[in-house]
Structure 1
Amino acid sequence: MRHFLILLFLFSAYAQSQQTAQNLFSQYQSALYQIRIIELESGNKSSIGSGFQIDPQGNMITNYHVVSEYVYDPDKYRIEYLTIDGESGPLQLINFDVVNDLALVRKTELNALEDIFPIATSLPNQGTTIYSLGNPHDLGMIVVPGTFNGIKKNSFYQRIHFTGSINPGMSGGPVVNENGHVMGVNVATAGNQIGFLIPLSKIEQLLTKHADEPLPISEFKSTIQQQLMQNQTELLSKLQNATWQMAPLGQANVPTKIGEFLSCWGDSNTNNEEALFLSVENRCRLDEQIFLHGGLRSGGIELEFEWLNGQKLGENRFYSLYNSSVIGAGAGNAATKTDVTNYQCENSKVTNKNNVSSKTVLCVRAYKEFAELYDVLFIGATLDHKEQGLISHFTLAGVAKDSALSFTKQFMDAIEWQ
């Protein structure tokens, strides 16, 4: 009897969820749109996403990445909407938040009565059923029930963890509570029913920047630069002011927990009986990056320490291994030659405040569109042992030079011998 009651409860909950989804779709389908980026020369869509209307003036919210092609090349693309009834029309880009992947666009052709999605006043309780709406794979609008799991842990950019299917084309669609009030925006999926949403607070921040007039095209790139600079200044400040927890690695002590936003992992080759050297690694990274356009990501941070012991190899062979490990380090973010310059590197021999001597390489590449932003790659190899040593490495994406140099000094000074 108990199992029957549990099954009855689950069936009733499922049926109620399906009924709520149907009600939401019928009530709000006219306020839900496909957002299309049209390539002007061909007249065909280049990419699609979703969006939703929030007021009678025709303002809609979508993802920044949905309209990013237009932001980067407004002479090649235009933005338009498509309704569930097949009607289409032009959209203006009013403003955007590149860091939180949000954009505000506006219909220039309004009907007498415009349906809208109301914005929620608060997030639901953890475990509550919520509903994601969008246009997956260009197949038409759907409603996907899922579970609100709160804000993702250790998330600098504050994403909601959503148990439910978010598929390509649903980006920019609303996620609503049972009353149809928007409390998030679809943004990404990790597969296996794991989705991520932009939370209500970020929507509210975008709307506080709302202006009657669209952001001028001439200010698109400068707005991106300003937002990236502000974000990275805040992120690096929080990391540098956090307590850096130290842990042993080989004969060194290295930072293994730097702030609450970086996730850290370890590995070694100790189970490889044929290995002629010992390799033990600690890696930390920010799991989130900022999408700028299809070939460029920014905002990422990676840190890595590797202890190598090659006493079985002998001094000469170990030096060759050590050198190849240093050469193998690379950038931590995607970028193309149209976006960034080649790396310019400086080699130094440095002794830090703990009397650890290292050969270091500090490389910087500039963003071509953003004069004050750089990607930074640092590699250091200790010189105090002949057949063993520590290789330290970090990458910073989209930072100012002063911030990068300050972080580099703190990073180097954190290393000490046991």
Structure 2
Amino acid sequence: MMERYISALMVLVLLSGVNSASLAATNGADQAKLPVPSTNAQKLYGSGRNDLLQLRILLRNGRAQSSVGSGFLIDTGNLVVTNYHVVSQLALEPETYVGEYVDTSGRRGLMELLAVDVLHDLAVVRIDRAGTGFFRIPEQLPELRQGQYLYSLGNPLDLGFAISEGAYNGVIHRGFYDQLMFTGPINAGMSGGPNITADGRVAGVNVSKRLDGELVSFLVPIRHARELLKKAAVVRKQPKSFNETVAQQLLAHQTLMVDHLLAAPLTSKSLGKYQVPVRESDQMRCWGQTSDKPDKPYTVEQIKCSMESSLFVSGEMQTGHMAIRHEYTRGTRLDALRFSNLVAKSFKREQFGSHKDRRLTGPVCTEQFVTNGKLPMRAVLCVRAYRKFAGLYDFALVTNTSDENLVNLQSRLDIKGVSYENGLRVSRLFLESIGRVKKP
């Protein structure tokens, strides 16, 4: 692995050489209250309650509860659909955690985790009882229309089983995998529960909500669960580890993510005297801000871009994400020496991670003074490897211009959960895309 690190860090040296030759869970008090269910909601709950479950993740030692979610039995079998994030501890640390289900009658038992889909946040578990057949996933899935009533079931806040009403409001494409927008309450603990139409057909699986809005919730389309159920049906016993499966899925995601984000050239924006690379798309948004205070002898203007979504791996790790930051600093009442000290302190404040992190290795970094044929820059490239998921890395690249005395551009690229090759690919493109505004 060290050989790969060394060659990764050479991206800066290589670029410098080329250019020398020729001169990139929630607080209960904040939850929306569940409205009193309609007559139709009561009928649906009565019909489906026997196949509705609460799923609990417990510590093996002492059986203390660590996390809870919901799930539902499919057809008349013993397979249960839920969210991956509900059972992630069981998937990644089976030696520490065990899974238990509780149904609406109070019956409980152990569960086996058979299959996971990190990309769509789904999982399938097996229990020791069969369903009644209420929740089915037919080959012909329901066609949803804007404003159509939908109903979410689950166990909100570990308070008891419940049903909530809302409306379907289209497909959301802010991430790389489509989700359904449900304008209705999905509270903590309802994750993994079913969302059904007025005639009882399963439309999706409860997955998340926006904390900065009212009743803005999301569902995983049920067709993704259908594919995972087919895989789970042939699994005889719970695998000893899902690390390899999760790693393969994350590697597939990073290929899609990088290829999609770089399908077109990076957009170039003017920031002071410089041209900076950004990416604006359905998956990535950019914002700008300025700090121009009368009591400060300098001004700072920023452009920040960040992906709208990331992949949940565990409570300690979210990955499959890219962010860009550019800061343009201009000295208004500073001499060259004081401005240089200001810029140096800003560069020194950049953080690249800890060597004590149990999820990733410590950062291995190199620092070079380079030129990309447009600008001389100071650059630091840091790489960290995932401890459990072979072939995945986090890359961080920070650059600082050195062509002016009283203006400075400091840029940063962070890309998480990528292959070694894609990390180099994006870092090099970012570095090559920084330049000066062309004079008219």
More off after superposition, 223-232 vs 272-281: 272-281
CA separation of 1:35 and 1:331: change in aligned 2, threshold 3 A: farther
Unmatched 5+ stretches in structure 1: 1-13
How large is the RMSD of aligned CA atoms in angstroms?
2.2
Query: 1:368: Cα distance to partner?
Result: 1.1
CA distance in 1, matches of 2:404, 2:270: 17
CA distance in 2, matches of 1:343, 1:358: 21
Whether the 8 Å CA contact 1:297–1:335 is kept in 2: the answer is: no
Query: 1:123: Cα distance to partner?
Result: 4.6
Q: What residue number does 1:302 align with?
A: 323
CA separation of 1:64 and 1:381: change in aligned 2, threshold 3 A: same
Whether the 8 Å CA contact 2:135–2:201 is kept in 1: the answer is: yes
Aligned partner of residue 392 in structure 1, secondary structure: strand
Q: What residue number does 1:222 align with?
A: 244
Query: 1:110: Cα distance to partner?
Result: 2.8
Q: What residue number does 1:183 align with?
A: 203
Whether the 8 Å CA contact 1:30–1:115 is kept in 2: the answer is: no
Query: 1:363: Cα distance to partner?
Result: 0.5
Is 2:115 the counterpart of 1:115? Answer: no
The structure 1 residue matched to 2:382, chosen from 338, 363, 368, is: 363
Aligned partner of residue 209 in structure 1, secondary structure: helix
Cα deviations by residue, 1:251-273 (Å, 9 ceiling, x for unpaired): 11223334431011110013x22
Whether the 8 Å CA contact 1:268–1:278 is kept in 2: the answer is: yes
Whether the 8 Å CA contact 2:118–2:249 is kept in 1: the answer is: yes
- The correspondence of residues 14-413 of structure 1 with structure 2, limited to 5 A, is 18-107=38-127, 109-111=128-130, 114-119=132-137, 121-191=141-211, 192-214=214-236, 217-270=239-292, 272-330=293-351, 337-353=357-373, 355-413=374-432
Query: 1:311: Cα distance to partner?
Result: 4.1
Q: What residue number does 2:436 align with?
A: 417
CA distance in 1, matches of 2:286, 2:68: 35
Whether the 8 Å CA contact 1:367–1:374 is kept in 2: the answer is: yes
Whether the 8 Å CA contact 2:89–2:97 is kept in 1: the answer is: yes
CA separation of 1:410 and 1:322: change in aligned 2, threshold 3 A: same
CA distance in 2, matches of 1:161, 1:128: 11
CA distance in 1, matches of 2:403, 2:222: 52
Whether the 8 Å CA contact 1:159–1:196 is kept in 2: the answer is: yes
Whether the 8 Å CA contact 1:123–1:200 is kept in 2: the answer is: no
CA distance in 2, matches of 1:122, 1:314: 68
Unmatched 5+ stretches in structure 2: 1-34
Name the TM-score, length of structure 1 as normaliser: 0.90
Whether the 8 Å CA contact 1:243–1:258 is kept in 2: the answer is: no
Query: 1:153: Cα distance to partner?
Result: 4.2
CA distance in 2, matches of 1:231, 1:303: 19
Whether the 8 Å CA contact 1:295–1:336 is kept in 2: the answer is: no
Whether the 8 Å CA contact 1:56–1:115 is kept in 2: the answer is: yes
More off after superposition, 151-160 vs 136-145: 151-160
Aligned partner of residue 21 in structure 1, secondary structure: helix
CA distance in 2, matches of 1:331, 1:159: 32
Q: What residue number does 1:10 align with?
A: none
